[in-house]
Amino acid sequence: MDWSSHGANVLGGWGSQGAVATSARVEAVLARIRPLVKADGGDIRLLGMRGNSADVELSALCACPGGSLGWWEHLERVLRHDVQGFGRLRLTVSE
C-alpha cells in the first residue's frame, strides 16, 4: 500500500494536545484507520491497554510481503501523532 496517498487523510490535523493515551482515544484512531485496513482485506480491533501502550489485533490481511509490518509501522506513527503520551503498539496478527 502506498502510505503517501493515505498520509494526508490519516495524519492531517487530528493532534490531541494535552491528551493521555486512553482506550477511547486509541479506539478513535482505529475507527479512522479501519476503513483503510478493510480496503486491504483485513480488520483491526483494540484488545486492551497496558499503561500508555495498546494491544491491537490485525486480522485477515492480504498476503503481501511485509503487509502486517507496514500496517504496524503506520498505525504506531498515527497513534503517536494523535495521542500525546502514547507508548508502544503491540500487534497480534490473526487469520
Please tell me what DSSP assigns to residue 47. Answer: E
pTM of the model: 0.72
**From CA 69, how far away is CA 82, in angstroms rounded?**
20
**From CA 72, how far away is CA 35, in angstroms rounded?**
15
Taking only the tens of pLDDT, the chain with its 95 residues reads: 444 344 433 444 444 444 568 999 999 999 999 998 888 888 999 999 999 999 999 886 666 656 677 888 889 999 999 998 999 999 888 87
Instruction: Report in angstroms the alpha-carbon separations of 60 from 17, 26, 66.
Output: 33, 21, 14
Laid out side by side, the sheet with 89-94 consists of 43-50, 53-59, 89-94
Q: Which three cell numbers stand for residue 28?
A: 478513535
